[in-house]
Structure 1
Amino acid sequence: MSYQLRREEVVDAAGLRAMLEHSPGQAAQAILAAAGQGVLEAQLLLGQILLDGQGIEADEVVARRWFGIAAQGGSAMAHNMLGRCLEHGWGGEVNLAQAAIHYAHAADAGLDWGMYNLGNLLATGRGVPANQAQALGCYEQAAQLGHAKSMNLYGRYLEQGIATTASPARAVRWYRRSAEAGDFRGMFSLALVLVERGEVAEAGPWLERARVEGNLNFLRSALVTLQGAGPVLEAFAARYAEEIEQHRF
């Protein structure tokens, strides 16, 4: 039986998002109906729930299609999500050059995630010529908007003097902002700097939070760093190794 959308159910996207929390199946029907009626935010939401399989059977192909429809309607986040589909091959072939175009649309519209994702392509030369100065600009813009992951990367560019004059003091400030905003990589970056300063007591809690909150790829790369960082961090390296073992099961 098809879901009959009532006008009051599409007053704002917040209502649909709230419905997803407590009644994902009903929310999915409402979102599907609203998307079919041309509600831009519902089209974006439909792409997301199809990608995640939230309240509806996951379908990356159809998710990509709805992100494309919402992007054509002018949704900056839809451009960003379409870029991610193109970058990672969700619902179709990988096309990094097209991903960069959609990230650029999102970034030009002022979306921090678009700036961050475009910065990553520019930093690595995937889909676009490598350009560290432009990558730095993307990360800085996103960091200024409060994007936690970009704060950490902007800090790294400042610490290492990539495409800019090195400024360790400014780097630490951005690492701290990233860590306090909840980015586990920012926590790790801040902790390493604190250890270098001899401020191990403050570094410890940040290393522990990063260990608990970080994903498996992060844990593996962090472990390599910790294992080569001297005796002060040996105990943390052991805990990171244990965490990686737990992620295997």
Structure 2
Amino acid sequence: MSFQLRREEILDASGLAAMLEESPARAAQAILLAAGEGEVEAQALLGQILLDGRGIAQDPPLALRWFGIAAGREHLMARNMLGRCHEQGWGCVADASVAASHYRIAAESGLDWAMYNLANLLATGRGVAVDQRQALALYRRAAEAGHAKSMNLLGRYLEEGQFCPQDRATARDWYRRSAEGGDFRGQFSHAAVLADAGHVEEALGWLRKALVGGNVNFLRVASESLMNAQHPQFRELADAYRLRLSELVAL
């Protein structure tokens, strides 16, 4: 495959993302060129591949710089990623209060991921004062915008009646929407609802989906929950969760 790219290909941000799937190294060259040409989507994408080390040497401090350049040009996801870098200490000293300020800017401009990230800080009091009601409002806004992770958390607030009237029927609907949206925690929550209603086979299907997408922390907690489940099929599935957990920990 030729590495020669037409100018219009270099400046086609949507094409760059697709190219990353086909050839990360080739895509990285194109992204570098497009970022240098001033293409803001490419600048944000360059920050991401530098952060991930995808097709290019991993360099979190340089990723932070490119996120800053794109954020300065009002790229909302780059602004959100500046927040993530400051929250996690990627390329800088971790500072949740700085992260919150970046999330807030992007959230106020309508970015669902920023709403979710800011809500997480507000719910736990990291970098900001604890404000569960504001966190709930942000989760609700993000969920209504189609953010699957926020759908699951909104469902949790509604199921437990935390800082809002208890509404288990609506909570179950949000769990279902979260599961269908691809969130592994939403898939686990939806499976629990289905199991309680006696739909064991359907619940098992969602639990298997959650197994594939789940991260280390989720798999650790979920496997313990499944070990104590009423249905023997769920207890058997706990072994698969523990196996997947051990694989991820070993990476």
**What is the deviation of 1:38?**
2.2
Letter of the 1:177 counterpart: R
Which residue matches 2:79?
79
CA distances 1:87-136 after superposition (whole Å, capped 9, x unpaired): 10000100100101111111111111111111111111111111111111
Residue equivalent to 1:239: 240
Distance 1:4 1:94 in 2: 40
Q: How far has the Cα of 1:195 moved from its partner?
A: 2.1
CA contact (8 A) 1:64 1:82 kept: yes
Kindly report which structure 2 residues correspond to 1:35-114, keeping only aligned pairs within 5 A, or say none: 35-114=35-114
When normalised by structure 2's length, the TM-score is: 0.90
| Correspondences of 1:1-249 after superposition (within 5 Å) | 7-230=7-230, 232=232, 233-249=234-250
In structure 1, what is the Cα distance between the partners aligned to 2:14 and 2:125? 37
Q: CA RMSD in A?
A: 2.0
Task: In structure 1, give the amino acid aligned to 2:60.
Answer: E
Counting matched residue pairs gives: 247
Return 5+ residue gaps in structure 1 as ranges: none
Percent of aligned pairs with the same amino acid: 58
How far the C-alpha of 1:248 sits from its partner, in A, is 4.3
Q: Deviation digits for residues 156-191 of structure 1, max 9, x if unmatched?
A: 111111111111100100100111111111010111
Rounded Cα–Cα distance in structure 2 between residues aligned with 1:243 and 1:30: 36
Which aligned segments of 4 or more residues in structure 1 are displaced greater than 4 angstroms?
3-6
After superposition, the Cα gap between the structure-2 partners of 1:237 and 1:112, relative to the gap in structure 1 and judged at 3 Å, is same
Structure 1's 131 and 39: CA in aligned 2 closer, same or farther, altered over 3 A? same
Between the aligned partners of 2:90 and 2:4, the Cα distance in structure 1 is 30
Tell me if structure 1 keeps the 8 A contact 2:155–2:170.
yes
CA positional deviation for 1:5: 8.1
2:9 is matched by which residue type in structure 1?
E
Question: Aligned partners of 1:4, 1:203: CA distance in 2, in Å?
Answer: 50
Separation (CA, whole Å) in 1 of partners of 2:72 and 2:146:
27
SS at match of 2:15: helix
Counterparts in 2 of 1:162 and 1:42: CA distance versus 1, 3 Å: same
